[in-house]
Structure 1
Amino acid sequence: MLAFGLGSGIAGLGGVALSQLGNVGPELGQGYIIDSFLVVVLGGVGQLAGSVAAAFGLGIFNKILEPQMGAVLGKILILVLIILFIQKRPQGLFALKGRVID
């Protein structure tokens, strides 16, 4: 619940910031949907620390790869690496050690 609340708040602040740059419409954040999905999958669903670490890691890795490979090939390489990582650790970066009672 905490991760959802913080994510919604940060998304709202991002929407406010992007609305200052151009028109607001239904397609405003479509360029960020895949990146945010990759962050959640890599960090672990429901893991706030994992999502933060994955966001920083993917952002840095993306900025390192973009000048050398181009934006599209960089995204493809990141996607392939995430698929390989999820094959080894399906729970994400910071997996829980046991079962959680809700």
Structure 2
Amino acid sequence: MSSIFKKIIDREIPADIVYEDDLCLAFRDINPKAPVHVLVIPKKEIPSLADLNDDDETIVGHCVVALAKIAAAEGLHDGYNMIVNCGEAGGQEVPHLHFHLMGGRQPKS
């Protein structure tokens, strides 16, 4: 059974896509926790960080570089967070590796 993210990659369900290339796809979170909340996912189905192997190094690095480009395009020049949850106990809700790009909050005084 495909995860919701695989269905987004396959265009079976809609998403607000902000970036796509051969290796990854990025779209706005439907339940944002910050003014800018984008999910960057590899197109290869990797369940979590714990499932990475040496062959995935290029894909993961590519996703992180794409996330930085998206942050710049979103105007997050003052900073942002990149969050990766691993496994259910680590807060991962969808069993497909994904990187949260979160930013746009005003700094606390």
Determine if the TM-score, normalized by the shorter chain, exceeds 0.5: no
Q: Which has the higher helix share?
A: 1
TM-score, normalised relative to structure 2: 0.29
Which protein is bigger by CA-based radius of gyration? 1
